[in-house]
Amino acid sequence: MIALVQRVRQARVEVAGTTVGEIGVGLLVLVCAEPADTPALAAKLIDKMLKLRIFSDEAGKMNRSVQDVGGGLLIVSQFTLAADVSGGNRPSFTGAAPPALGRALYEELLRLARERHPQVAAGEFGADMQVLLVNDGPVTIPITMR
């Protein structure tokens, strides 16, 4: 699985002008499933996100997790994270999981997140979404789970 984790002051996802997911302080996580991914990798990714120490402590050092600061998670599916541009200027997305597998793993990721964290919002799988955010720092961390 591929994830792009952004520390945010606020973020929301809209579909057709309607907000479908929204958080205040927390993590916006763009996530892409790959063909060989499994539910076990989704669990590993959730554990990593929840423990990732990228929020500042009282000394200003990145030493706190989203759980430590009581922040939210906004998890958005984004197959374009698997883009391959090595063959030209038009990206290939063959590295992304097929839609049925991608949806199943995204839903499993959301289920696990909601089981382990009290504040979880989501985008809408396969929808044309607008993601609005205030990146804090900015802090943006790519994560690849294999």
Q: What are phi and psi of 76, to 5 degrees?
A: -125, 130
From the candidates 6, 67, 79, 94, which is the catalytic residue?
A: 79
80, 93, 130, 144: which one is catalytic?
80
- The 3-state DSSP composition of the chain as helix, strand, coil percent (nearest 5) reads 25, 40, 35
Query: Considering 38, 55, 67, 78, which one is annotated as catalytic?
Result: 78
Residues in the chain: 146
Catalytic residue check, 140: no
Our answer to whether residue 38 is catalytic in this structure is no
DSSP 96: S
Residue 58 to residue 79: CA distance in whole angstroms: 37
* Helix (H), strand (E) counts: the chain: 3, 8
- Closest CA relative to residue 96, chosen from 126, 123, 121: 126
Place of tokens 């205030």: 134
Active site residue 80: yes
Catalytic residue annotation: 78-80
